[in-house]
């Protein structure tokens, strides 16, 4: 069976839902088959708080072809770039049209220049854990062995509220 890949998607600039919808479509061209998409959550910014709230969701996908993690990251960054995102140290926590992160990739633990899977900060981010728990609450973090639902219970209490059902066909649609 193919390894499940969980991606975090976020936007807080312009038509946030449209950016998420566009990215979802482009994941197919990046070599992924989307299986399910969580509901969309509206979340307060973490880090730099003087910016618009984000829309966030999590996508469950599988690779349609053999795919190297760094190649997938390159393809995700190309989708972000096409949406107008320019990655710099200065704007790392600032407003963005689109943010795509590899959160989990099966049981893999990857530590490469510019890429860490599981995502380095996902355990402290309610805006990732809430939609991830919606899709698969018993999924285990390969680094800690803890379930996503257990990680969510311990996550910081930043404000995260369900914005609307999934981007395609309701929660868990795909």
User: Which residues are catalytically annotated?
Assistant: 85, 96, 99, 101
Q: In the chain, what is the greatest distance between 2 CA atoms, to the nearest angstrom?
A: 44
Kind plus residue range of the DSSP H or E element containing 94: none
- Reading the block at residue 41, the tokens are 């959550």
- Alpha carbons 151 and 76: distance in angstroms, whole number: 26
22: helix, strand or coil: helix
- Alpha carbons 128 and 171: distance in angstroms, whole number: 15
- Alpha carbons 125 and 132: distance in angstroms, whole number: 11
Angle at CA of residue 60, ends 87 and 8, nearest 5°:
25
Closest among 124, 126, 76, 122 to 103, alpha carbons compared:
122
- Reading the block at residue 60, the tokens are 């469950």
């Amino acid at each position: 069976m193919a390894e499940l890949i969980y991606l975090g998607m976020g936007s807080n600039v312009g038509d946030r839902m449209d950016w998420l919808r566009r990215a979802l479509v482009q994941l197919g061209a990046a070599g992924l088959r989307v299986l399910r998409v969580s509901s969309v959550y509206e979340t307060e910014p973490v880090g730099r708080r003087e910016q618009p709230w984000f829309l966030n969701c999590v996508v469950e996908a599988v690779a349609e072809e053999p795919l190297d993690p760094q190649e997938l990251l390159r393809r995700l960054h190309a989708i972000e770039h096409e949406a107008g995102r320019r990655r710099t140290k200065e704007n790392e926590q600032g407003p963005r049209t689109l943010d795509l992160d590899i959160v989990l990739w099966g049981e893999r633990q990857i530590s490469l220049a510019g890429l860490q899977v599981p995502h380095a900060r996902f355990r402290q981010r309610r805006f990732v854990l809430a939609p991830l728990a919606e899709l698969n609450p018993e999924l285990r973090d390969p680094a800690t062995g803890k379930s996503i639902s257990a990680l969510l219970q311990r996550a910081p209490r930043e404000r995260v509220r369900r914005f609307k059902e999934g981007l395609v066909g309701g929660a868990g649609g795909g």
